Amino acid sequence: MSPAQFTKESASTGEFKRQGNRFTGRISPESTSAPGEGPDEHGRWPLEPGRYRLVVSLACPWAHRAIIVRKLLGLEDAISLAIVDPIRDQLGWRFTLDPGGQDPVLGISYLSEAYLATDPEYDGRVTVPAIVDTVSGLVVTNDYPQITLDLSTEWKDFHRPGAPRLIPAQREEMDQLISEIFEDVNNGVYRCGFATSQEAYEAAYDALFARLDLLEQRLAERDYLLGDNLSEVDIRLFTTLVRFDAVYHGHFKTNRQKLTEFPNLWEYARRLYQQPGFGETVNFDQIKRHYYVTHDNINPTGIVPKGPDPAVWTA
């Protein structure tokens, strides 16, 4: 077997096993804590616009979800945004894009500083997105699947007028799709790319393209995954699709075909890209530099591909 990119997340069979989310606090209007206080006995932080900071990487698909949802719902003034450098070093995500190499609000140079302030014994991978409390400097949550759902439900009093309803009435159907897409597509591309055995890679590859084939069929007669309206599951699929040809197809060896060779998925992804909140939040330069420079076991030369041409998304 080849060396693992993330040793702690590699099984003996060569499968990539993504780590769990260490911080799972939630910001809620139901919190019994007073303004400025920490979480209540149920782990609920008080809902206070302007208090919390969403830390993201523009390269990361999990963080990209939160960026899109925050923008679509008009929560820019309620929750501030911090963007880390796309190149992650041994100490993790860095605030080198800010003057002086520190986040101007949190006053830290590395996101790991907030992680360790919250749990001094933490020895896992530092991940984005993370929501950090600006009062205490502690991490509220790095639970990326829940973060976007809570932006829709817990923060609804601060949504812009006319904001889309991203959690539809057919919640059970959406949750099932979310689960399938996470397993085979969102995380499936990583299971291909971070596999350390041929068998693990091929199993993930087969599951990925079997799911993409089903999604291709599903989108043959509908604009969105659940019909006529945009929902949370579309955002979760989009952030993988928009990275597919640029990084996953080559870097992660998901090369049966490109996204542009799926007629329905490609039309769907381009349509989303051209909507407010989607294409404007995509940064192909940071996406490519992160994957091709950071994963040195997969791409030891650190050479970043020049293509593909991003103009295809708007042509």
Q: How far is CA 269 from CA 118, 120, 131, 262, in A?
A: 38, 41, 28, 10
Q: What six digits make up the tokens of 283?
A: 């940064």
Clarify whether 144 is annotated catalytic: no
Going by their DSSP bridges, the two strands 52-56 and 26-28 should be labelled as unpaired
For the chain, the farthest-separated pair of C-alpha atoms sits apart, in whole angstroms, at 54
Q: What six digits make up the tokens of 9?
A: 């997340």
> CA 205, CA 100: separation in Å to the nearest integer?
43
> CA 87, CA 94: separation in Å to the nearest integer?
8
> CA 31, CA 11: separation in Å to the nearest integer?
39
Q: Is the dihedral of CA 154, 157, 163, 168 positive or negative?
A: positive
- In the three-class reduction of DSSP (H, G, I as helix; E, B as strand; rest coil), residue 190 is classed as helix
Of the candidates 110, 115, 144, 190, the residue annotated as catalytic is 190
Q: How many CA atoms lie within 13 A of 180 on its CB side?
A: 16
Going by their DSSP bridges, the two strands 80-83 and 130-133 should be labelled as unpaired
Write a three-state SS string for 244-277. Answer: HHHHHHHHCCCCCCCHHHCHHHHHHHHHHHCCCC
> CA 13, CA 153: separation in Å to the nearest integer?
40
Fill in the DSSP letter of residue 160: P
For the chain, the residue count is: 315
Clarify whether 190 is annotated catalytic: yes
CB 92 within 8 A of CB 111: yes
Catalytic residue annotation: 60, 190
